[in-house]
Amino acid sequence: MLQDSSLAAADVLASVSALSDKVFAPNAATIDAEGRYPCENLQGLRGAGLLLLPVAREYGGLATRQTDTSDVRLCNRVFREIARACSSTAQVYFVHCMVVRRLLRSGTPAQREFIVDAVRGGAAFAAATQEPAGKTILNHRATVRRVPGGFLLNCTKTFCTGHGGARYLSVNRVREEGQEPRAGSGAPPDFVCLVAMDQPGVTPHHDWDNLGQRGTTSGSIRFTDVFVPDEMTWPTSFQSSYYGLILQTAFAAIVLGIGEGALAAAAEYVRTNTRPYPMTGVERAVDDANVQWHMGDLATRLHLAALAVDHASDVDVMEAAEAESGAWTRADASLAIAKAKIATTTAAVEVCNRMFQVMGARSTARKLRLDRYWRDIRTLSLHDPVDQKYRLVGRNVLTGDEPPVSTHT
């Protein structure tokens, strides 16, 4: 177990790599087939002390310090490595890390102590933001009613990723009944409620049965008169800028990992199962010039996408995203991250489309579940479609207009 808070990034990555090979990858097809929470995989992360990845060393965690942006690159490398083996596990773990990071950064000293104690005790965190109604995906109507000592929460949230095995749920974008929008913003003064999954009134609907990312338990939850003490509420301010940008880099890293995992699976299948066509004049599929061309092309696309993710995760970019420091601006950071998301999505989707072209018809057997790579990438890539990012980047090239910063741009 990674108990020593002085461990280097290499030690963290080595531990994640070992878990990916021995635990995550062997379980991935079963988790996908059964559409269940990856309990054994999260237990592996918990046993290795990796739930503490977003917690600063000063609090007994693995992060350099709670305000150090250099940890973003390490987190993204971890998410990417896990996604190669099991993308559902990567997304569940990523949500845990993002929720813990945000709550620690924006909480009071007492709240930070509560979060650290919970994580050190093995608690996993999940998130609930989206709602089933509204004109756009960012319309949030969830409200709470003031009662002595706190609030009563009544709403339904969707895409509650990771709640199947979480102890706590961060219910985001909630506002008090009767609160008017802030002057000039058009948005109500909203905040975050932290709710225990076993609280009375918390009712998961167990309705996540989607095309891909089937192990993320990203279904809906109904909250009925759930009591939220005052001390279990956080401001939303951290979400809007820096949080949105680091969330985007994490998504790009997971998308890249899916593509890399798919390419590795395709290569292994070609080496061990694919037979060449007679007209190729070769005895092994690995010697087929067409197969070699496709694999070389796909590997190159992923390599270039990886460079884009590394650049978007660079310390200078993250510091600009957070504080407009140095030669970079927040707009520069947003553009770098948008380009990384474009590069990873287009590369990974292409890999997952063309992998069957090189593996052959037998690779489509349902028992192999190799189609999970395509289903996972198609599902996760729709979180924030890259069409919008192409437009924002293109407009910047043509007019110099700076792109907005949010969790979806």
| Close Cβ partners of 172 (under 8 Å, ≥ 6 residues apart) | 127, 128, 129, 140, 192, 236, 239
Which run of H or E residues covers position 75? helix 70-85
32: exposed, middle or buried (Cβ count in 10 Å: 0-12, 13-18, 19+):
buried
| Close Cβ partners of 368 (under 8 Å, ≥ 6 residues apart) | 29
Rounded distance between C-alpha atoms, residue 91 and residue 382, angstroms: 14
User: Over 90: is that where the pLDDT of 59 sits?
Assistant: no
- For residue 39 the two structure tokens come to 């309990």
Strand-strand pairing, 143-147 and 168-176: parallel
Which run of H or E residues covers position 116? helix 109-120
| pLDDT tens figures, 108-133 | 999 999 999 999 999 999 999 888 87
| pLDDT tens figures, 156-210 | 999 999 999 999 999 988 888 877 644 444 444 688 999 999 999 999 999 999 9
**3-state SS, residue 224:** strand
Rounded distance between C-alpha atoms, residue 227 and residue 230, angstroms: 10
Is residue 290 very low, low, confident or very high in pLDDT (cuts 50, 70, 90)? Answer: very high
- From 92-106, 237-251, 270-284, the region with the lowest mean pLDDT: 237-251
CA distances from 328 to 140, 320, 332 (A): 32, 5, 6
pTM over the 0.85 mark: yes
**3-state SS, residue 376:** helix
Domains annotated for the chain, with CATH where assigned, are: 9-122 (1.10.540.10), 143-236 (2.40.110.10), 240-399 (1.20.140.10)
pLDDT at 384: 81
Rounded distance between C-alpha atoms, residue 112 and residue 93, angstroms: 20
